[in-house]
């Protein structure tokens, strides 16, 4: 892997699983207990905002106190030591990449750290709840909501992600099932551009056959080993 300069990494719920955060689609995952159409879609928000806000208040509460695992720390080390281009695109709304020392991170499905006010477009730092309809700190509107992307809404930062993919030499996918687009399509976009592709996942995913190489195992082992290989070699 000598000719690699620019790296794009896509992460999903699997990288945070060993920190104790539920994944979505694995056995016992969140989407077995909750229907995403009821608690995580733009349509549900329009129909029954209380239910959706209560779901995100619950998730914020469980995710907020978790700590990064060796996979997050390894990416933090990579961010600190990699001299070339690096972009970590995460689908996760937790802040474990940042807690693990990474700063070149984009949250394409939003995050819990901030709230979003559709009335004035403010994104204030936020650690409170939403179900009680707190006023927006900037404009007072009661329409403050989680700063997360719902099904049926456009993911964030695509204007930075696609150029990074076009400039990449290596695309690495970690802990994601490849079920949700557009993130699930990044591997094919990368392939079409001639970018080398590597998947690190507990088990084969929907998109495994698109990758040049798939390594199977827990992220806490695979990611530190891959980072060591990259930095050491």
Q: CA-to-CA distance for 75 and 200, rounded, in angstroms?
A: 13
The nearest distance, CB 175 to ligand OAD, in angstroms, is 4
Query: Helices 219-232 and 70-81: crossing angle, nearest 10°?
Result: 20
Q: Which stretch binds ligand OAD (CB under 6 A): 19-27, 48-56, 58-66, 159-167?
A: 19-27
Q: CA-to-CA distance for 202 and 206, rounded, in angstroms?
A: 12
**Non-local CB neighbours of 123 within 8 Å, separated by 6+ positions:** 114, 115, 116, 117, 147
**Non-local CB neighbours of 226 within 8 Å, separated by 6+ positions:** 74, 172, 198, 200, 215
Residue window 61-100: x/- pattern of binding to ligand OAD, with contact defined by CB under 6 A: ------------------------------x---------
Site for ligand OAD in 109-168 (CB under 6 A): 109, 149, 151
141 within 8 A of 115, measured Cβ to Cβ: no
Q: Which of 73, 109, 112, 157 is catalytic?
A: 109
Task: Give the residues across from 125 on adjacent strands.
Answer: 114
Active site residue 109: yes
Q: Which of 8, 9, 10, 17 binds ligand OAD (CB under 6 A)?
A: 17
Interface with ligand OAD includes 12 (CB under 6 A)? yes
Residue 120 binding: pick among ligand OAD, Zn ion, none (C-beta 5-8 Å cut-off by kind): Zn ion
The nearest distance, CB 117 to Zn ion, in angstroms, is 3
Residue 68 binding: pick among Zn ion, ligand OAD, none (C-beta 5-8 Å cut-off by kind): none
DSSP, collapsed to helix, strand or coil, labels residue 91 as coil
Q: How far is CA 175 from CA 84, 146, 215, in A?
A: 23, 24, 11
Interface with ligand OAD includes 201 (CB under 6 A)? yes
Interface with ligand OAD includes 224 (CB under 6 A)? no
DSSP, collapsed to helix, strand or coil, labels residue 184 as helix
The binding site for ligand OAD (CB under 6 A) comprises 12-14, 17-18, 23-26, 29, 36, 40, 91, 109, 149, 151, 175-177, 179-180, 201-203, 205, 218-219
Active site amino acids:
109
């Amino acid at each position: 892997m000598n000719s690699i300069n620019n790296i794009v990494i896509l992460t999903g719920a699997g990288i945070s699983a060993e920190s104790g955060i539920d994944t979505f689609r694995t056995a016992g995952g969140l989407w077995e207990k909750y229907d995403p159409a009821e608690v995580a879609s733009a349509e549900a928000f329009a129909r029954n905002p209380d239910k959706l806000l209560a779901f995100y208040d619950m998730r914020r509460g469980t995710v907020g106190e978790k700590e990064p695992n060796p996979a997050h720390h390894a990416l933090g080390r990579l961010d600190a030591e990699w001299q070339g281009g690096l972009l970590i695109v995460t689908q996760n709304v937790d802040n474990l990449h940042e807690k693990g020392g990474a700063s070149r991170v984009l949250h394409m499905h939003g995050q819990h750290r901030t709230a979003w006010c559709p009335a004035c477009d403010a994104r204030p730092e936020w650690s409170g709840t939403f179900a009680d309809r707190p006023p927006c700190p900037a404009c007072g509107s009661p329409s403050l909501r989680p700063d997360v992307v719902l099904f049926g809404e456009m993911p964030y930062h695509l204007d930075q992600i696609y150029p990074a993919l076009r400039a990449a030499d290596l695309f690495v996918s970690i802990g994601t099932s490849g079920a949700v687009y557009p993130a699930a399509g990044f591997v094919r976009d990368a392939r079409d551009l001639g970018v080398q592709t590597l998947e690190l996942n507990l088990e084969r995913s929907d998109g495994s056959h698109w990758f040049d190489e798939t390594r199977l195992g827990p992220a806490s082992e695979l990611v530190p080993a891959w980072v060591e290989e990259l930095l050491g070699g």
